[in-house]
Structure 1
Amino acid sequence: MKINQYGTQSVNPYHKSFDKKATPSQINPQQEDKVEISAKAKELQKGPDLMMERQEKIARLKAAVENGTYQIDRTGIAEKMVNFYKQQ
């Protein structure tokens, strides 16, 4: 039985291109990893300060409601509701 090498290159035509591709370490070995912190992440780091401000605001609102001095802007609320439903 005689076996020839005919047609064996078509078995894996991508093998040649795979060998020729450069790995990322071969492209630029000097490049270092970088980390960039987004603006949103920086804003989230301020969380404890914002929590204190929010708690103070809630305490003021609760005191105003209990004292009966809390005033509602009925016109402003109505305008915002109308604008909200116009957008939908």
Structure 2
Amino acid sequence: MKINGSNSTHLNPYQKQYQKQQQATNQAKPAADKLEISSQAQNMLKGNEVKEARQKQVQQIKHDVQTGNYKINYQETAQKMIDFWTNRG
């Protein structure tokens, strides 16, 4: 007695769908990320001239303090403190 099983090509009904998905995945090229920055944002990223000048001055003071060349003008400092507190009221 001979028993014929089901047709083996139709055993997995999802095989065609799986193959189509694999072909689409292989053919699809990954899109490259792209970043666009407006001209206004680019100007903001460049920095502020005042901020850059202040940063340069701070670096110079740090360097002078570390090397021992920084000199404090005590009279000018005291005068500025007095001016600040008297004009505040």
Shorter chain as normaliser: what TM range? Answer: 0.3 to 0.5
With normalisation by structure 2, the TM-score equals 0.41
With normalisation by structure 1, the TM-score equals 0.42
Higher gyration radius (CA): 2
